[in-house]
């Protein structure tokens, strides 16, 4: 009988050790997750201190294109969202630089033409605009001014109901709303009206 009690106590101790090990692993995992995620903002989500200077002086396509899909920032790095804006434009439309800078990339990504421009005098790290799908007419390192033609809009399958260009904005790894580059007078719709002074 004492032999059975010894076996029973040994099993009880083994179960207790297993539960304590599991509990400590779970606690360490939860504390580790809280430690690594709480202090930092997700690279895909903007932080409160992010500010974007309204340095843009031209729309990238057309005069006042329709915004087919607006910017929807992701709540976390890998969450769903829309990391840019889609602007309505027919294939073959000229795609222009919205502000002065330097071409930091021109090539194909996942079969789509992409061109990126690092904007001048926008801080450290500098703001970077991206345009796709674009058949680039410039190469990496080329300097651009506002309105410089970067290339032409390619016909490509996309998530837009009509032909569109995806326009993005980043500072480092943080995605931002590209429309924030444009001053209010460029964002206004409709013709200007003069009113009497008195």
Which among 35-44, 56-65, 137-146, 186-195 has the top mean pLDDT? 137-146
- Beta pairing class for 112-119 and 127-132: antiparallel
DSSP string, 115-130: EEEEETTS-SSPEEEE
Q: Using one digit for the tens of pLDDT, what is the confidence trace for 47-57?
A: 444 688 999 99
Instruction: Please give the pLDDT value at position 187.
Output: 83
pLDDT, position 147: 96
* Measured distance CA(44)–CA(83) in Å, rounded: 8
Query: Would you place residue 163 in the very low, low, confident or very high pLDDT band (cuts 50, 70, 90)?
Result: confident
What pLDDT, on a 0 to 100 scale, did the predictor assign at position 190?
58
Round to whole Å and give the CA distance between 103 and 106.
Answer: 7
The pLDDT, as a whole number, for residue 193 is: 58
């Amino acid at each position: 009988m004492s032999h059975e009690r010894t076996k029973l106590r040994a099993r009880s101790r083994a179960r207790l050790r297993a539960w304590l090990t599991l509990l400590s692993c779970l606690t360490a995992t939860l504390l580790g997750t809280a430690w690594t995620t709480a202090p930092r903002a997700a690279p895909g989500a903007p932080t409160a201190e992010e500010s974007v200077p309204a340095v843009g002086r031209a729309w990238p396509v057309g005069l006042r294109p329709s915004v087919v899909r607006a910017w929807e920032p992701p709540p976390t790095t890998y969450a769903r969202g829309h990391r840019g804006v889609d602007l309505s434009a027919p294939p073959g439309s000229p795609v222009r630089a919205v502000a002065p800078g330097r071409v930091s990339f021109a090539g194909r990504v996942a079969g789509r033409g992409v061109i990126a421009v690092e904007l001048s005098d926008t801080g450290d790290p500098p703001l970077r605009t991206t345009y796709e799908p674009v058949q680039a007419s410039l190469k990496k390192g080329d300097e651009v001014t506002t309105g410089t033609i970067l290339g032409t809009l390619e016909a490509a399958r996309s998530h837009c109901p009509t032909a569109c260009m995806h326009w993005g904005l980043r500072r480092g790894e943080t995605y931002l709303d590209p429309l924030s580059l444009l001053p209010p007078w460029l964002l206004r719709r409709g013709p200007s009206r003069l009113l009497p002074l008195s």
